[in-house]
């Protein structure tokens, strides 16, 4: 009888552990979306004590892979899922649903000691393809340009590559970084460096945000369509979100959640309906 009681107790413990793990949500993907998710999750868990949420940010490509292989119910992407990713997902029985949670503008940044204030789209392309290698060629000091870029798993890289480089190959000597934070850190330490980051990272210590075509990256200029390098920020779920995942998504899209979006220097979806088709 004692042995039976011990076995029953063990089963109950395992059952409770399984229930606890089932309630956990592992969110994975974009480092650009991470500031929104981090702050939203903190606020959400403060009012939902029984729900545990972890966040792992290593790039939009990794977020898409995690959704496809089932290791996350909620993927963060700073780009839309590719047709090839959607096809692979559907082959594995996953039906990706896109949810726009914010807008962002990708902001070129230089070291705060750099005298350059503005670059055109053409100048940015020439710098990032290696055609321009000295700041004096774009109105700055006689100083070599150190190009800092995101790596290829990043949605930010893909957007920059498509909209700025026009799909030309990035400069072979570019320093490829795994996150927005890493780009900010490298540029902040190198006087001749240039990088690009999401708006939430553009004012990190040691950085100066550049205007593009004389337009500053800002919430206002993203909404009015004048800033030329703007995009949507996304969450993806497998089909219509349900349970605790739906509660979290609904919180991010609520007034309180959208205030969090604004508080980390991104552009809330609400009030942005006229801003159509941001990618």
pLDDT for the residue 275: 41
231-256 pLDDT, tens digit per residue, is: 999 999 999 999 999 999 999 999 99
Residue 132 CA to residue 75 CA, distance in Å, equals 37
Residue 23 has pLDDT above 50, yes or no: no
pLDDT band, very low/low/confident/very high, at 272 (cuts 50, 70, 90):
very low
More confident residue, 256 or 14: 256
Evaluate the CA torsion angle 245, 250, 253, 257 in order and state its sign: negative
Neighbours of 221 (CB within 10 A): 18
Q: At what angle do helices 60-69 and 155-163 cross, to 10 degrees?
A: 120
Judge whether 59 and 178 are in contact, CB under 8 Å: yes
> What count of residues does the chain have?
279
CATH superfamily of 104-223: Periplasmic binding protein-like II (3.40.190.10)
For the chain, the domains span: 17-102+232-268, 104-223
Residue 136 CA to residue 254 CA, distance in Å, equals 48
DSSP 3-state of 69: helix
pLDDT for the residue 33: 96
Antiparallel, parallel or unpaired: β 193-198 and 96-111? antiparallel
Residue 11 has pLDDT above 70, yes or no: no
Return the structure tokens found at 38. Answer: 């981090």
- Residue 70 CB contacts under 8 Å (≥ 6 apart), including other chains: 94, 238
Q: Does domain 17-102+232-268 have CATH number 3.40.190.10?
A: yes
Comparing 17-102+232-268 with 104-223, is the CATH topology the same? yes
């Amino acid at each position: 009888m004692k042995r039976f009681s011990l076995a029953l107790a063990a089963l109950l413990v395992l059952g409770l552990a399984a229930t606890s793990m089932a309630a956990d949500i592992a969110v994975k993907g974009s480092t650009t979306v991470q500031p929104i998710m981090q702050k939203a999750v903190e606020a959400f868990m403060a009012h939902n004590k029984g729900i545990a949420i972890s966040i792992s940010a290593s790039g939009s490509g990794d977020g898409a892979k995690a959704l496809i292989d089932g290791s996350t119910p909620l993927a963060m992407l700073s780009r839309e899922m590719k047709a090839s990713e959607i096809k692979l997902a559907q082959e594995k029985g996953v039906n990706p649903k896109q949810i726009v949670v914010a807008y962002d503008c990708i902001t070129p940044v230089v070291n705060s000691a750099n005298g350059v204030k503005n670059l055109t789209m053409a100048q940015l392309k020439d710098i990032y393809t290696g055609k321009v290698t000295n700041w004096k060629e774009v109105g700055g000091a006689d100083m070599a340009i150190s190009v800092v870029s995101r790596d290829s798993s990043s949605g930010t890289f893909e957007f920059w590559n498509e909209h700025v480089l026009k799909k030309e190959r990035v400069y072979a000597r570019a320093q490829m970084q795994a996150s927005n934070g890493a780009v900010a850190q490298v540029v902040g330490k190198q006087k001749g460096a240039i990088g690009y980051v999401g708006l939430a990272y553009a004012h990190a210590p040691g950085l100066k945000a550049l205007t593009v075509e004389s337009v500053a990256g800002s919430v206002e200029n993203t909404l009015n369509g004048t800033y030329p390098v703007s995009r949507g920020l996304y969450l993806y779920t497998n089909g219509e979100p349900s349970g605790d995942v739906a509660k979290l998504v609904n919180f991010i899209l609520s007034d309180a959640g959208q205030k969090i979006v604004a508080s980390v220097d991104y552009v809330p979806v609400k009030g942005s309906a006229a801003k159509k088709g941001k990618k």
